[in-house]
Amino acid sequence: MATSPEKPLRADAQRNREKLLAAAVDAFAECGDDASLEGVARRAGVGIGTLYRHFPTRDALVEEAYRTEVAHLGEAADDLLADHPPDEALALWLDRFVEYSAAKRGMLVALRALAEGQDDYFASTRDQITGALTRLLDAAQAAGTVRKDVDAGDIFRATKAIFVMSEDDDWQPNARKLLALLMDGLRAGS
């Protein structure tokens, strides 16, 4: 039996869904795995019933919040390239990567549970991030503002260092410092 495609959401329902996803990202970045669904609904300015209509389980909310953040990170690459010189766009994108990392760190326990037994769970999101990095790096290399002997995979591997930083209150400024050093290295010899 064929299933009918999902009907598009009404405008108000779509706004509520987007508010819930943004609130979930903020809550997970701030509270980690301790973020409550009630707190997410409160942050979004909606009732818990609205949250459950859009996301029937905590896992559904975590997964969609994560995928949405990755999509936003990918879209940011194109937006930044449109508004900034390529090397500056790359630096600004790396700064946004820290924000994405804060949310991902907060969701990590739930994401690991979702990915258990699925070898390719993170493959599409990794491809999206690497694709964004490739667009940024290619533009900066073409402009001659970053060195040509690196590729997006090199930068992606370097960004993984921020995930192993300690959970102390200073991790985000330290991560930004580390990524600024990375940018300095990319610009050297260009």
Residue 165 DSSP code: S
pTM exceeds 0.85 for this model: no
Domains of the chain (ranges; CATH) run: 10-56 (1.10.10.60), 63-187 (1.10.357.10)
Query: What's the mean pLDDT in 47-54?
Result: 95
Please classify residue 6 by burial: count the beta carbons closer than 10 Å to its beta carbon, then call 0-12 exposed, 13-18 middle and 19+ buried: exposed
The sign of the dihedral angle between the CA atoms of 142, 68, 16, 38 is negative
The model's pLDDT over 75-118, given as tens digits with 9 standing for 90+, comes to 999 999 999 999 999 999 999 998 888 888 788 777 877 778 77
The model's pLDDT over 1-17, given as tens digits with 9 standing for 90+, comes to 444 446 677 888 889 99
pLDDT for the residue numbered 119: 66
Per DSSP, the residues of 41-104 read HHHHTS-HHHHHHH-SSHHHHHHHHHHHHHHHHHHHHHHHHHHS-HHHHHHHHHHHHHHHHHHH
Residue 11, both tokens: 């405008």
Which of 132, 50, 118, 57 is closest to 89 using CA atoms?
132
Residue 164, both tokens: 């192993």
Q: Is the pLDDT of residue 190 over 90?
A: no
The backbone torsions φ and ψ at residue 84, rounded to the nearest 5 degrees and listed phi first, read -140, 155
Which of 67, 80, 56, 55 is closest to 25 using CA atoms?
67
Q: Measured between alpha carbons, how far is 85 from 103 in angstroms, rounded to an integer?
A: 27
pLDDT for the residue numbered 170: 82
The per-residue b/e assignment along 90-124, b for 16 or more CB within 10 angstroms, e otherwise, is bbbbbebbbbbbbbbbbbbebbeebeeeeeeeeee
Residue 119, both tokens: 């070898």
The model's pLDDT over 135-180, given as tens digits with 9 standing for 90+, comes to 999 999 999 999 999 999 999 888 888 877 767 768 888 889 999 9
Whether 80 and 89 have beta carbons less than 8 Å apart is answered as: yes
